[in-house]
Amino acid sequence: EVGWLLHEGCPIEHLDRAMLDAGFPVGPCTLLDEVGIDVGEKVAKILLDGFGDIVETPLDFEKLRNSGRQGRKNKKGLYTYDGKKKEVDTEIYDLLDSPQAGKNKINISEIQDRGLFRFINEAILCLEEGVLKDPYSGDLGAVFGLGFPPFRGGPFKMADALGVKAVYDKMAKL
């Protein structure tokens, strides 16, 4: 979802701030830089091979990597790093193949909903496919393993709190 939001023009710092405000411990763009764009590229290929279109992203990881961006490890990714200071590298927007890159301040609640409900959707699919043995395991893994906002209790707990109809309606809208 992060790739699609960036493609739709969401500024990097706006996207990170929205997800931090939603309760995630780190913004998704910062996380990509921490993990490494080269690692992101490898993971994206593996996921695409295994899951197909459901995980497709408009981010061209190879193009980003070929521009010399690996993330924090070489001090240049979506952000640039100078000591403890990090700043969005505005040159990145030219590499995103989007005419509105960095220029579309998408509503914060829409960004948060798209991120959170993507988690909920994937958690439900994992339960349906037997990857998870029960919702509790999914909530525990999402909070402690994936950084899902702890105060929400996990994707299943969040879905339960909202109710089936509200979750269905929001997902249909998104």
pLDDT averaged per 10 residues, the chain (length 174): 88 95 95 92 87 80 87 93 89 81 86 94 94 96 94 96 96 92
> Are residues 90 and 76 in contact, defined by beta-carbon separation less than 8 angstroms?
no
> Are residues 12 and 88 in contact, defined by beta-carbon separation less than 8 angstroms?
yes
* pTM (two decimals): 0.88
Cα-Cα-Cα-Cα dihedral sign, residues 127, 129, 132, 133: positive
**153 burial class (0-12, 13-18, 19+ CB within 10 angstroms)?**
middle
- The candidate with the shortest Cα–Cα distance to 78, out of 42, 115, 132, 32, is 32
